[in-house]
Structures are given as structure tokens and as C-alpha cells.
Chain A
Amino acid sequence: GAVVSQHPSRVICKSGTSVKIECRSLDFQATTMFWYRQFPKQSLMLMATSNEGSKATYEQGVEKDKFLINHASLTLSTLTVTSAHPEDSSFYICSARLSGSFYNEQFFGPGTRLTVL
């Protein structure tokens, strides 16, 4: 089946540093990937839609300069949390949509837990 990986799985950083999270579709090409943020025991909040070769589409209230998204290839999207602060601590999950599949479902990566000290 379709597999999506994320790296790193867990990161702890100091306030003010930038953190890059990678999302890869391992066995399929994904023209569209999605980045979500999930707080403990809460739903997935869509942050942005990442389109290969073009600018990401950000949801209302998500700072573009804070959360930089790059979708350089059909198998890789990156999310960079710039100048991270403790309130950015969260579980970040990416997903990739399998284009042309019968259900057009999204396959989720395992997530990255970010802790900002």
C-alpha cells in the first residue's frame, strides 16, 4: 500500500531556532500533500496544502512566514517552523493524496512531535 514517511519523528529544540520536517511518499508520487497540526486529544487542523512546483495554500490564521512549506518534488514536501517558540510545540502530521485512486484517500505520515523549550 501507499506509505508516507516523516522525519524526524521527534525533535526538541530551543526557542528561537528553526526546525525542518520532511514528508516523503515512498512508493507513489504525490502532487498534493497536506500539513496538519494536532494538539493532544484534539482533531487535525489543516495548516496548508502543498502543491508540487508551486506555492503552498495556507489556511486562514496560519502564518506563511512562520511555517514555510516547500514541495520541491513529487515525493517530498518540507515544513520549516521558523523561530520556534514554546506555543509551536505540537504534533505535526503530513498526508499525501494518492491521485487517481478509487477513493482518493489521504495517507498519513507517522507524525513529528515538536517540543520547543
Chain B
Amino acid sequence: GQQVMQIPQYQHVQEGEDFTTYCNSSTTLSNIQWYKQRPGGHPVFLIQLVKSGEVKKQKRLTFQFGEAKKNSSLHITATQTTDVGTYFCAGRGYNQGGKLIFGQGTELSVKP
């Protein structure tokens, strides 16, 4: 079945450093979504990418969808302590009944 792999599993950065998490799917995706889960909280929707090669920005966050629609990345510029949490990508394949398959998540910690 469809699998979504995400790396790295953990990332520790100094405040102000950049951070990137990568997501790879075993199959072509119709779209990919990104979620953030704060410690002790529940996942919160960040963005959805649909088009091949799409790039979207939200302030310091940049999201990319690969040309083949099988990989994606989230890049945070100049991290802040408020960026702490686990970032999940979630891919929706074709013929999957609309369900999302979540990656393992990347846990980001930011040292002030």
C-alpha cells in the first residue's frame, strides 16, 4: 500500500537557524498536506499543495511539492521557539477514497 516516509525524525536547532523536513511517497500523490502538532496537542492544518512543482509560503515557512508529485518539503527560515512541535506531512493518493496517509513526523526543538 501507499507509504509516506518523512525525515529526519528529530531536529534540534539553535534559535535563528533554518530547518527543513522532507517527505517522500511511494506513489504519486493527488495532493499533500502539512500539519503541526504542538507537544500535548492535536494536529493543526497548515497547508495543502496540489500542483506539480508548487511552492507556497506562509511567513517564514516555505512548502514545496515535487515535480513528480511524490515528494515535498517544509522549510522554516530563522526558527523561533514558537516553531517547536512535530511537523507531519500527509499524502492523499489517487483511488484512496480521500484518506490521508501520514508521515512519521519530524520533531523540532529550538534552543533559545
Contacts and interface: CB of A to CB of B under 8 A. Distances in A.
Interface residues of A, number: 24
A41 B48 contact: no
Interface in B97-112: 97-105, 107
A67 interface: no
Given A57-B97, A103-B45, A105-B33, A43 B1 contact: no
A111 B42 contact: yes
B11 to A, nearest CB: 14
Contact of B100 (A41, A93, A106, A110): A106
A25 interface: no
A27 to B, nearest CB: 16
A43 B102 contact: yes
A7 to B, nearest CB: 14
B45 to A, nearest CB: 4
Contacts of B6: 43
Interface of A: 32, 34, 36, 41-46, 49, 57, 60, 93, 95, 97, 103-111
B45 A43 contact: no
Contacts of A105: 33, 45, 48
B99 A103 contact: no
The SS class assigned to the A binding surface is: strand
B43 A44 contact: yes
Contacts of A49: 97-99
Given A43-B105, A49-B97, A60-B1, A106 B45 contact: yes
Interface in B62-112: 88, 97-105, 107
A109 B37 CA distance: 12
B64 to A, nearest CB: 17
A30 to B, nearest CB: 12
Contact of A108 (B43, B99, B104): B43
Across chains A and B, which 6 residue pairs bring their CB atoms closest together, nearest first?
Answer: A105-B45, A108-B42, A103-B48, A43-B104, A44-B102, A43-B102
